[in-house]
Structure 1
Amino acid sequence: MHQRSLLIAALLAGVRAQQAGTMEEEVHPPLTWQECAEGGECTEKSASVVIDANWRWLHSLEGSDNCYTGNTWDEELCPDNKACAAGCALEGADYAETYGITAEADALTLQFVKGENVGSRTYLMAEDDESYQIFNLKNKEFTFDVDVSKLPCGLNGALYFVSMDADGGQSKYEGNKAGAKYGTGYCDSQCPRDLKFINGEANVEGWEPSESDKNAGVGGHGSCCPEMDIWEANSISSAYTPHPCDSVEQTMCEGDKCGGTYSETRYAGTCDPDGCDFNAFRQGNESFYGPGNTIDTKSPMTVVTQFITADGTDTGKLSEIKRFWVQNDKVVANAESNVEGVKGNSITSEFCTAQKTAFGDDDIFAQHGGLEGMGDALESMVLIMSIWDDHNSSMMWLDSTYPEDADASKPGVARGTCEPHVGDPEKVEGASGDATVTFSKIKFGPIGSTFKAPA
């Protein structure tokens, strides 16, 4: 033990951030996407995806001892945040065999459970294969195909953007040899505290293993940044949701001051954990999305999201987030809200204010900058594709009645047709491990360039 301590001290003197392992070569699954120009001419981009650092094997820098096993840290290798980062390495990944992540041409498929692994979170890499692809979404549209036919209640096949650093924070934190290549630097509007590394240091201090999740826990720090949920969905319900924060860049927070899902006080932090969501079912349009509905989730679909600015420029103020759908060669406008006092079929400042009033929700969205604040963050965003279940609320906020003790007839409470708790993790992990989501045909460009809108 004394020798081990001396080794950690020696390592700590030279480095202070997470390291990259050498036991398995890190090879990113290739994935193509298309960048489009005015008029609809599109160019194929050769890119790849990388799995988030939180899912990787973390072991001693000079050996193969686990720094983290199950949901606990090794006390000798990780006595504190800095020593742990100095003495532990993130290892390369076997994407298909360990995580159930496969890519073919322009399609990425994520399997829910693969062996002992549950869920995954992946980022789109730039063509250099060393940094994340950065998107400026303002005055642009983002289009993709998705197949959610194999996603039951309780699961979420998500495609979204956050304002992470393009290099995973590597240039900000001296000694960080892992960076974007190993999936570091995550943040979102929940200011997640389940991350093993934040700002180049481990999150071991104050770490409390989860009582329900054998792989997770909550540490003393969180990582905050704006989040644009283009797509959170399964075969029953879908939602798109902007989540602004006070800062447009990634910031570290402390304990329960982080707010969000992982803290005692949800609204204590600098981000809006609720956002302003558009879920057709929640807006009273119960026959729009789902099996056999207007948008039939038994078949793949094309999802188009437009980020409209007030002056029609890439630097103007965000004024509307508009949704179109394409299925069976038919363009379908987004569902209209049927909630009294909440009109429209897109996200605008007026829609969000009216929705918060109608649902009796605190307008945390406006307190953190609202739609304009979200627009400020959209100029530099990283694309994420993931599949996950929910140990906090069983995904009832997406596809069931939530809060579960509320009157389902009250506006905003019913989010989908799933029975409460049918999506409990122990149920879906046992019964639906083979569930998958497939994202494909990603296109990005000026408004009107990625699909043909109705005249």
Structure 2
Amino acid sequence: MYQRALLFSALWTAVQAQQAGTLTAENHPPLTWQQCTAGGSCTEQTGSVVLDANWRWLHSVQGSQNCYTGNTWDAGLCPDNVACATNCALDGADYRGTYGVTTSGNALTLQFATGANIGSRLYLLADDETYQTFNLLNSEFTFDVDASRLPCGLNGAVYFVAMDADGGSGRYPENRAGARYGTGYCDSQCPRDIKFINGEANAEGWTPSTNNRNTGVGGRGSCCPEMDIWEANSISTAYTPHPCESNTQTICEGDNCGGTYSATRYAGTCDPDGCDFNPTRMGNDSFYGPGSLVDSTAPVTVVTQFLTADGTSTGALSDIRRFYVQNGRVIANAESNVAGVSGNSITTEFCNAQKSVFANDNVFEQKGGLQAMGEGLTDMVLTLSLWDDYYASMMWLDSVYPEGADRNSPGAVRGTCEPGVGEPQRVEAQFGSATVTYSNIKFGPIGSTFQAPA
């Protein structure tokens, strides 16, 4: 997955050794979800969401001077990583006014652009100081989504990452912000645009982006397993597991991080590509989209099941299955129509065949495949986001990719968007009012959150 090239707002984050500011009150928008039992009985849970630290105002501890402006660190406050962490405080967020984030009951709506802010990333909280965690093995995760207003180039993403439940404040006690302020992010790209990692700033070696006035790449990255439940706009959708060599958040250095932000993509400890199931890429161009079998112009229920070999929550992950529910119909995931690749779910056989036929490096298997992915699924944090892509204009999701690839090459076509139409400058100028709504989140044992077909 070539994601996480998020366009952050001009005022960014900190993770560890980061002070908590008090100039803006931090009030988490409430969001309910449901915990279900094997009998299909579901109980409402009282939760809330918190904005990722990378979007927040970072200012001097003793005042309101910006520690980071545009895509540049303040040299006086941040002469090095340790001093920056001591001098700077992460402040509260105006969720609706600054970031276009609203909740109502069990529904979360994200607006793409609000004033100068672009995109957002949020996490589900169990309480004001702790992320809600999930063991996905032998379980299913279900939610409703309305992606009808997301054009080419945008990505409304629901996914899990193996972040620390406290935002890292336990392992790095100098972190005074913690999960309350959305700290501790990591994913399979080992992102190097994170402002603070493991107790220190990421200012040393920071290179401002040449095509993005708000972002840059630092000397360090933050890695962990990632399970993409839903990456989609109104044109294309995909779900993708990304295993790593370590099942917890780890730090990496420079290009050894690999992933989107490094010169050597496969140098790191995680699989940045994953094993994706995009119906269009698998030869089903009429399965998902406007007016398709799964009609993206209307809300849809998305069900993802994580089956284990022995049917227990401690067993080896063997299969990741997908169902959709729309207009009272249960729709099984598309079958692969690619010669040499069979199936409609993510299994070891499917992934190995896909990598071979598409002539892709099988980094998924090199990093442990489904076995390793399953080991990383036992303590995951739910992430909900909306973003655009300054690295590849989201062509890996909804167009022909890699750029310039022959459309007839197996796996090259991922959607019907013309190459380049999703460029961030165009999307931000024309579709700032785009929104995505996630609602009716349910979690429980296999078969507990929806009525499966007989």
User: Aligning the two structures, in what range does the TM-score lie when normalised by the shorter sequence?
Assistant: over 0.9
Tell me which residue corresponds to 1:132: 131
The SS at the match of 1:409 is: coil
Paired amino acid for 2:452: A
Tell me which residue corresponds to 2:48: 48
Unaligned 5+ segments in structure 2 are 1-15
The SS at the match of 2:121 is: strand
Tell me which residue corresponds to 1:310: 309
Cα deviation code 1:377-410 (max 9, x no counterpart): 0000000000000000000000000012110111
Matched, 1:22 2:22: yes
Paired amino acid for 1:84: C
CA distance in 1, matches of 2:372, 2:212: 34
Tell me which residue corresponds to 2:34: 34
Tell me which residue corresponds to 1:250: 249
Larger Rg: 1
Matched, 1:99 2:94: no
Tell me which residue corresponds to 1:404: 403
Unaligned 5+ segments in structure 1 are 1-15
Query: Post-superposition shift, 1:154?
Result: 0.2
CA distance in 2, matches of 1:411, 1:436: 32
CA distance in 2, matches of 1:420, 1:197: 34
Cα deviation code 1:7-47 (max 9, x no counterpart): xxxxxxxxx70010011110000000000001110010000
Paired amino acid for 2:68: Y
Query: Post-superposition shift, 1:174?
Result: 2.8
Matched, 1:228 2:227: yes
Matched, 1:156 2:155: yes
The SS at the match of 1:156 is: strand
The SS at the match of 2:131 is: coil
Tell me which residue corresponds to 2:9: none
CA distance in 2, matches of 1:409, 1:417: 14
Query: Post-superposition shift, 1:227?
Result: 0.2
Tell me which residue corresponds to 2:120: 120
CA distance in 2, matches of 1:83, 1:176: 14
CA distance in 2, matches of 1:172, 1:343: 44
CA distance in 2, matches of 1:254, 1:85: 18
Structure 1 length normalisation: TM-score? 0.96
Superposition misfits of 4+ residues, deviation over 4 angstroms: none
Tell me which residue corresponds to 1:63: 63
Cα deviation code 1:352-378 (max 9, x no counterpart): 000000100010000001011000000
Matched, 1:110 2:124: no
CA distance in 1, matches of 2:212, 2:26: 27
Tell me which residue corresponds to 1:366: 365
Identical columns (%): 71
- 5 Å-filtered alignment, 1:409-448, equals 409-448=408-447
Tell me which residue corresponds to 2:272: 273
Cα deviation code 1:91-141 (max 9, x no counterpart): 000000000000000000001000000000000001x22110000000000
Tell me which residue corresponds to 2:89: 89
CA distance in 1, matches of 2:174, 2:189: 27
Aligned residues: 440
The RMSD of aligned alpha carbons is 0.8
Query: Post-superposition shift, 1:171?
Result: 1.0
The SS at the match of 1:397 is: helix
CA distance in 2, matches of 1:152, 1:257: 34
CA distance in 2, matches of 1:61, 1:119: 26
CA distance in 1, matches of 2:415, 2:83: 46
- 5 Å-filtered alignment, 1:285-304, equals 285-304=284-303
The SS at the match of 2:357 is: helix
